Structure formats: structure tokens, C-alpha cells
Structure 1
Amino acid sequence: MPKPVLVGSQAISGGKPVPQTIGHRGFKAAAPENTMAAFRAATAAGADALETDLHLTRDGVVVLCHDETLQRCYGNEAKVRDLDWNEISQLRTLREPHEPMPRLVDLLEYLELPGLEDIWLMLDIKTHDDAEEMMRKVAEALASVPSKTPWATRVTPCCWNATYIKLSMTYLPDYPITHLGFSLSYARCLIDIPNISFSMMWQTIASPFGKSFLRDMKQLGIPVYVWTVNEEAWMEWCVRKEVSGIITDEVALCREVCDRTGNVEGQASSASKRRERTTGLKSRFLRTARFWTEMALINCLVTLFVAREWLKHGATSRHISKVLNG
């Protein structure tokens, strides 16, 4: 089977690859996250792709919401899966302009509008719902919205673990799969899966082990996306390292950074250099200290994750092989 290529996933400037600008939950910095206003703002700001999160309502509708509960964004203490769509559709975001929660089909229909044919979509499939029902409903939603360009070239399901990857291969066999996570060792166990790509927490890619991971994935032709990058200096770092895409809340800033020819050649922008001189050593020290503090916390989380998987399933590679081949 030929490998699907996501529309627009080979942005080139100056002869070198430029990372895709991927709107995290739309343009989260400009509008309430995971709303149509946020998605419209992201495409208007020049996003190459959109990232969003999936949950199921009680009556099986795939909706776009990051959290398991509705409290943070909508002020309702209920869980998404405890309400029907007709109830959730009446809610509005706490943040102005008080937007409703969209369904996956609403976003797909939007992406079929003229001028948006090159925008592609990353679906972060949350693990709070029944895995098989979720994947079946996602497949039904994709099949229900006609597209001039096949959705399999514009959509990638993002799966946190082998269970969802196996179900994605079952229900969406023609779609490229993205593993979403923060463990490089877990990701390395998945490199033989056809049409795989990786969406990793950026701090893990910036770690000492991330350098070899990026090098190896580049040699294998496996795309690597990073999340969530909101600082200009780290966006420039991502450009220099030639990651495949930057998932960000700051879509307009990321688009600007990725479009700078100087960065494509591996140089920081003149504006960035001026800021560096102005802020001086103290700012660099604080940024470095924060990075290594975050790295320490992430390494603790990865260690706990690996230990939990070991206790629950045994060796990670054996468990993944068992799930995928079982």
C-alpha cells in the first residue's frame, strides 16, 4: 500500500524543509480552545494544519474537547461522556466570545470550504472513552463527510498507545498513524509500523536522547512533530533541527518564525539576536534553568510510565508486539 502523504507536509523554503505550523487546539492564544472560532483564527493566521482533541458524548457523538470534564472550559462539572450531544450543544465557553463545542463533523465540513483544501488535521484521541467505540465513531464521522481530497491524505489519528494504534489500523486502514507521547523508548518500539509518525513533547526531543532520536527518524523517513512550543527561541531551535512540524498555541508567531529564510539556514533572526543582547545572561540562565527543571520532571514521568507498563504488561517491546499482533 502506498504511504499516504498529508497535504502540505513538505513545506520548502530555500531548498531546505521548514516545519509545518500546527495550531494547537486551533489558535488557542486568539480564541477559546477547540472551537470553530479558534480553528478559523488558526487558518487565517497561516497554519498548515490543525490539532484537536476527541471525546465521546453519552450518545456516541465525537466532540472536540481536551478535558475529560467540562469544568475548565465550559463551567459544567459533568464529564463529556455523561451528557448527550443535545445537552452539550447548549453549553458555551467561559472565555469570550462564549463559543459552543463543535463536533468532529463540524470541523471536517469547515475544512471542505474553498481555500482550505491544503489544511490537514491531527486528531488527539483521548483515552477516557471505550477505545473500540471511539475508533469506530471516528471512522463513521470521517466517512460521513465527503471530501474532494481523500481524508486519508488530510487526517492522521494520534494514538497514545498500542491499543489505539491497533484499532486505528482496523477502523482506519488507509490513514497514516501518529504516535503521541513523551517516551522515546516507547516510540522506538513502533518504528516498523507502516505510515507511522511521532508527535512528542518538545522537551524530550530537546534532551540529550532527542538528538539521536531525530537523527534516526530522519534516516528512516519518519516525521517527528513536537508539542507544545510557544517561545520564539524554541521555535527557532525547532527550525534549525528540521522537525517536521511545530504544534503551538502561538500560530501567527510560529508562522513568522518558520517563514524566515535566515532560520532555514540555521541562523537566529536579527530580532531574536537583539532580544538576546537586551535580556542578557540572566534571561538565558533562567530559561536554561527552567528547561532542565522541566526535563527532570518529564524524566520522572517517563520513568513512572515505563515502570507502570512493566508492572502491568512486562517488557514494553513485548507488550506492544503482543497488542499489535494479537
Structure 2
Amino acid sequence: MNAEPSPAVARPKVIPPVLVQPGVEQLDSPVAIPHDTVFPIPRFAKAVRDGQKRQMPQCIAHRGYKARFPENTLLAFDEAIKAGAHAIETDLHLTKDDVVVLCHDQTLKRCFGKKERVLDCTWDQIKDLRTLAKPHVPMPRFKDLLAHLTQPGMEEVWLLLDIKLDNEPETVMRLIGATIAEVKPSGKPWAERLVLGIWAAKYLSLAEKYLPGFPVMHIGYKLSYARHFFDVPNVGFNMLCPMLLAPGGKSFMRDRHEESGSRQLLAWTVNDADRMEWCIRRKMDGVITDDPSLFVAARERHDECRKEPVLPVSFRSLFEIARIYIMVTAMFWLIRRRFRPDVDMPLIQRVPRNKTS
């Protein structure tokens, strides 16, 4: 099935929406976790060998094949897998009646043409809606996707969950765990096919409480914030690509090997050929992209013998990197000033287990 490329892929926002997403103030909420907390290593999310035995980043489809199909739909997921994606990245929100659904935005406006917030609607009010983008398909529930992945031929596909900050933290983590328990896996257990993507450190304790045995990755765009997660064994990183290219990115990539046991590192959202090549050369574990076919082509085109240019990305990319770096730095300064005046308090405290409750 063909579809026109989404114009949203090509037009960067003046202020990236992720920087002003609802709930962003939670990023500076301290958390206490037991000293013995160790999350599992998601070995299924590591870089893979291609047909030429070269180590290559996995192709992770951002909301499915977002460049050509309605995002976060079963159609977009299926088309991404057909295009060569190893994994699917998707977003989780809660409805008014506590159903976990796959939707990026807080409201239904952009994708479904309704002004209501997802949280203010019941599943019965949402299930018959259709995307504005052709071919007009419904929003799936999380359990619909899990059931879909039990079908033959889907056994090796894994999921990266983006757990949105505007959900009530305890409720969403509890309901994610309950939903997973409802769907019997085929072959591998779900803990070997799912990665919990968390933005804020406070979700570490909730992951251990409601989803024990599941691997965790920090989704982020501020490298100094991400460094706090070095203190927690095996937490991986899913970082905004321009920040890895910006000042501090090289040392962060080095330190995640030297200080924290070579944890997985993914980059999001990578839609330009020059940044794809940059990620391949840096031996990322995975690249999250709106266009899986473009990244598959970049992997095939990559020549390990060709010397990298002095300027590995375009001037346009450099301008965007500088713009995002300045905005991220300013935003975190404001968050720290407003929500966490006691900057000397550790963000993640390791304490004896009986002192966390």
C-alpha cells in the first residue's frame, strides 16, 4: 500500500515540541532506589551484524513508518517491518477509563481532528475515530499491538515504549504492567521484547515496582541529566541525535563505555542521510527514524573504508544542532531554577532497600 510522505517529517519546528511537552517539570524530581537495584541488559537491542558481517545500528521505526503512513497505527508498524525495521518505537497515553493507548500527543487534534485530550475520553469514545491521514485507520490500544506481535513472523520484532510524562506516573506504570500480563507472549517472554523508555528519574522506582525484570532506557536530550543514570546498572540511553553531535556528546559516548559497562545507546529522531552515516560510524546500537527505508539504504551504502569528511554533517545540520543545543541548555536552566532550588541534592539516591518505601 502506498501513501504520500508526511510533510511533518521535513519541517523542523521553531521550538521542538519535546522541549515543552506537558509534565517536563518532572525531570528534576529526585528519586530514592535501593542499592541492589539492577535492571536487565536488553541484549536484543544491541547493534547487529549485517550480511557483510559489519556491526550496524538496528533500525527502529519512530511511531512506525511515520514518513509515509499514519503514525502509531498497526498499518504503520507493519509497513515499517516490511521496510526492514528491527523494532518499533511507540508512545503510551491513558484514556479516562484507564486504557493504555498508542498516541503521541496529549490531544486528538493533530492526528484525529478532535480537540479533546486523550485523558478526557473513554476508549469507547476513541475506538471509532479514524486518522486524518489516509487511509484513515483507528488508534490501537497497547494490548492490540502486543497481540499483533504474537503472530507468526513477528517473533523477533521488539518494542521501545515512550512513556509520556503527562500521564499520572504511578497509574501509567501499573497499567502498563497489567496490560502486558493480559497478553500471552509467543516464544520469547515480553521482558525480552520490550524496553521501558522513561524520561524522568522518578520512574526508575516505579519500573522496579510494577515491571520488575524489564529493561529500562532513559529517553532524553540533556547529557548532564542523562549522566545521573550512570549510577544505576544497565540503564541504556535513547538520546536526541543533535545533542550527541553538540559539545559534550563525544565525552558522553566515551563515558557510557568506560564508566557504565558499555550500555546501549540509541539516537532519535534521525531522518537525514548525513546524520544516519554519522550514527553508523559511531557504532550506535540503534537509530530511531521516521523513514526505515532511508536508514536501510544508508546501512547498505555505508563504506567502512571511506574516510569520514572533516565536516561529517551538512551546514544545515550544524545550524539546527546549535539551535537545539542553546534551547535545551536554556530550558534546563529554567527547570532547575523553578522546580529544584536545592541543586546539591542528588537526583538519584541509592539507599538500603527498607528505606525506599
SS of alignment partner, residue 98 of structure 1: coil
AA aligned to 2:119 is R
**1:284 & 1:185 partners in 2: Cα distance?**
26
Match of 1:229 in 2: 270
Q: Secondary structure at the match of 2:197?
A: strand
Pair 86,21 (structure 1): closer, same or farther in 2 beyond 3 Å: same
Moved more, 213-222 or 170-179: 213-222
In structure 2, what is the Cα distance between the partners aligned to 1:43 and 1:294? 31
Hey, what does 2:335 align to over in structure 1? 305
Change (3 A) 1:287 1:134: closer
Matched, 1:289 2:330: no
Q: Residue 291 of structure 2 corresponds to which residue in structure 1?
A: 250
| More moved, 192-201 vs 66-75 | 192-201
Q: Secondary structure at the match of 1:86?
A: helix
Cα distance in 1, alignment partners of residues 160 and 317 from structure 2 = 29
Structure 1 runs of 4+ aligned residues shifted over 4 Å read: 264-268, 322-325
CA contact (8 A) 2:39 2:214 kept: no
> Residues 206 and 307 of structure 1: is their aligned pair in 2 closer, same or farther, counting only changes over 3 Å?
farther
**What does residue 172 of structure 1 align with?**
211
Instruction: Judge conservation of contact 1:182–1:302 (CA < 8 Å) in 2.
Output: no
Say if 1:309 and 1:316, in contact at 8 Å, map to a contact too: no
Counterpart in 1 of 2:343?
315
**TM-score, normalization by structure 1:** 0.88
SS in 2 for 1:321: strand
Give the corresponding residue for 1:36.
Answer: 74
Residue 198 of structure 2 is matched in structure 1 by 159
Code of the residue aligned with 1:211 in structure 2: it is K
Gapped regions of structure 2 (runs ≥ 5): 1-37
CA contact (8 A) 1:306 1:316 kept: no
Asked whether the 8 Å contact 2:246–2:321 carries over to 1, the reply is no
Is the alpha carbon distance of 1:201 and 1:309 closer, same or farther for their aligned partners in structure 2, counting shifts above 3 Å? farther
Shift, 1:266, TM fit: 6.3
1:2-17 alignment to 2 at 5 Å? 3-7=40-44, 9-13=46-50, 14-17=52-55
Q: In the alignment, is residue 133 of structure 1 matched against residue 133 of structure 2?
A: no
Q: How far has the Cα of 1:130 moved from its partner?
A: 1.4
Distance in 1 (alpha carbons) for counterparts of 2:270 and 2:314: 17
Distance apart, 1:133 and its partner CA: 1.0
Instruction: Give, in angstroms, the shift of residue 37 of structure 1.
Output: 0.9
Given the superposition, is the C-alpha separation of residues 72 and 261 from structure 1 closer, same or farther in structure 2, using an over 3 Å criterion? closer
Name stretches of at least 5 consecutive residues in structure 1 with no aligned partner. 274-280
CA distance in structure 1 between the partners assigned to 2:120 and 2:254 by the alignment: 44
Calculate percent identity across the aligned residue pairs.
Answer: 40
Distance change (3 Å), C-alpha of 1:180 and 1:135: same
Aligned residue among 213, 221, 227 for 1:182: 221
Asked if structure 1 preserves the Cα contact closer than 8 Å seen for 2:96 and 2:119, the reply is yes
**Structure with the largest fraction of helix:** 1
- 2:123 aligned to which of 85, 89, 93: 85
Offset at residue 173 of structure 1 (A)? 1.0
> What residue is the counterpart of 1:144 in the other structure?
182
* 1:164 aligned partner, one-letter code: Y
Q: Deviations over 1:45-73 (max 9, x none)?
A: 11011000000111110000001111111
Secondary structure of the structure 1 residue equivalent to 2:270: coil
Deviations 1:5-33 (A, max 9, x none): 34363412455531111100011011011
Distance 1:91 1:254 in 2: 32
Deviation (angstroms), 1:86: 1.0
Give, in whole Å, the separation in 1 of the partners of 2:279 and 2:306: 10
The question of whether the paired residues in 1 share the 8 Å contact of 2:91 and 2:102 is answered with: yes
Number of aligned residues? 311
Match of 2:99 in 1: 61
Structure 2: how far apart are the matches of 1:184 and 1:133? 28
Q: Is the 8 A contact 2:59 2:85 kept in 1?
A: yes
Partner of 1:200: 239
8 Å contact from structure 2 (residues 95, 101) kept in 1? yes
Letter in 1 for 2:210: Y
Q: Which amino acid aligns with 1:310?
A: R
Structure 1 residues 45, 69: CA separation in 2 closer, same or farther (over 3 Å shift)?
same
Aligned pairs for 1:267-278 within 5 A:
267=307
Aligned-partner residue type, residue 321 of structure 2: F
Alpha carbons 2:112, 2:132 under 8 Å: kept: yes
In the alignment, structure 1 residue 20 sits paired with structure 2 residue 63: no
Once residues 266 and 224 of structure 1 are traced to their aligned partners in structure 2, the CA distance between those partners, rounded to angstroms, is 24
The letter of the residue matching 1:125 is I
Structure 1 residue matching 2:174: 3-state secondary structure: helix
